[in-house]
């Protein structure tokens, strides 16, 4: 007789079903991302290097870019082009993006030379790479919606390139409304979701050790439930 | 006049109202501004790898 057909097996199966889909989702979330991994007390000693700082610098710059973008959306181009406060917030939006790309490229170099896809971290690497591509698209559409001669010139140049690869009729850089929606709705949504996924994967798998270092053993809190390789 | 002087004092160290300077190297063409940013990224990357990190608590 199998275990699932026995009275104790039925009781175990019933216990697993408690709470319906919300209970199942909670159990999955806690199993996948236990609190001690989500918000750890300690980090491995090899994290004491400046090269591990650039991921959080990238996320910090992204938060400033999104926050200033929300203020720009509230007030509109008449404000960010004409008033002194508007110009200041517009500059904060630009320079936070400059720093975001700057830090993200150094983060990318650091993780590439560390072969950060090791130790079941392939999805962490891939979500980061797609984040980079989404960021390029978000920055590009941002340049197109400045509503000045600069954006007009950039879109005029870009249309030839995009027409040459055959997507100009669908992704029309001269269509201001379409570019604005890509910049403030679609691409930030994709970038936000991918960034959240990327950070959760970093928490789940842990930061990648340097190539000649050993990852630490699970600490006392998680040792009881850790699966030995 | 006073407004113009205030503007000139507050002007960016690089004049952005004129065409930028470009470097031509065979088929490669890149603006000096972008080249400076790439150089700064390389410098910061090397510094991040070489400079010691301050000691802290709570690591294992």
Q: Is residue B10 part of a domain?
A: yes
Question: Which of A109, A146, A214 should one mutate to test binding to chain B, selecting the residue with the greatest count of B CBs within 10 A?
Answer: A109
Predicted local distance difference test score (pLDDT) of residue A229: 35
A49 DSSP assignment: S
ipTM metric:
0.80
Q: For chain B, what is the domain count? A: 1
- CATH architecture of the region A47-210: Up-down Bundle (1.20)
Nearest-Cα residue of chain B relative to residue A114: B49
* Chain B residues within an 8 Å CB radius of A44: 59-60
* Chain A residues within an 8 Å CB radius of B37: 102
Residue A222 in this model has a pLDDT that exceeds 50? no
- How would you class A22 by CB atoms within 10 Å of its CB: exposed for 0-12, middle for 13-18, buried for 19 or more? exposed
A156 touches B: beta carbon within 8 Å: no
A168-180 pLDDT per residue, tens = 999 999 999 999 9
Give the domain range for residue B26: 2-50
Predicted local distance difference test score (pLDDT) of residue A100: 98
Q: Is residue B45 part of a domain?
A: yes
What residue ranges in B1-60 does DSSP mark as E strands?
A: 22-25, 28-31
Residue ranges per structural domain of chain A: 47-210
Q: Is residue B58 part of a domain?
A: no
Nearest-Cα residue of chain A relative to residue B40: A102
pLDDT bracket for residue B56 (50, 70, 90): low
Q: Is residue B60 part of a domain?
A: no
pLDDT greater at residue A6 or residue A59: A59
Whose CA is closest to A198, among A112, A132, A103, A105? Answer: A132
Residue A64 in this model has a pLDDT that exceeds 80? yes
Give, in order, the Cα–Cα distances in Å from A197 to each of A128, A180, A209. Answer: 9, 25, 20
């Amino acid at each position: 007789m199998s275990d699932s057909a026995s009275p104790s097996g039925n009781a175990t199966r019933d216990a697993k079903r408690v709470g319906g889909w919300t209970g199942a989702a909670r159990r999955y979330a806690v199993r996948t991302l236990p609190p001690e991994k989500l918000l750890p007390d300690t980090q491995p000693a090899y994290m004491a290097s400046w090269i591990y700082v650039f991921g959080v610098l990238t996320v910090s710059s992204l938060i400033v870019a999104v926050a200033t973008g929300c203020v720009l959306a509230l007030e509109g181009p008449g404000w960010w082009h004409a008033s002194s406060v508007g110009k200041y917030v517009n500059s904060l939006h630009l320079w936070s993006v400059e720093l975001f790309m700057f830090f993200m490229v150094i983060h990318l170099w650091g993780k590439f030379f560390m072969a950060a896809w090791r130790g079941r971290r392939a999805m962490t690497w891939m979500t980061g790479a797609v984040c980079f591509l989404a960021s390029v698209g978000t920055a590009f559409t941002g340049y197109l919606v400045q509503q000045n001669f600069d954006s007009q010139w950039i879109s005029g140049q870009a249309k030839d390139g995009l027409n040459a690869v055959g997507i100009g009729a669908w992704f029309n850089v001269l269509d201001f409304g379409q570019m604005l929606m890509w910049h403030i709705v679609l691409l930030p949504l994709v970038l936000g979701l991918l960034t959240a996924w990327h950070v959760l994967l970093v928490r789940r798998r842990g930061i990648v050790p340097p190539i000649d270092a050993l990852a630490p053993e699970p600490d006392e809190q998680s040792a009881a439930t850790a699966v030995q390789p | 006049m006073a407004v113009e002087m205030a503007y000139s004092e507050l002007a960016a160290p690089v004049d952005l109202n004129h065409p930028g300077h470009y470097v031509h190297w065979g088929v490669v063409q890149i603006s000096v501004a972008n080249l400076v940013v790439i150089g700064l990224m390389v410098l910061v990357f090397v510094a991040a790898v070489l400079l010691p990190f301050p000691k802290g608590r709570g690591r294992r």
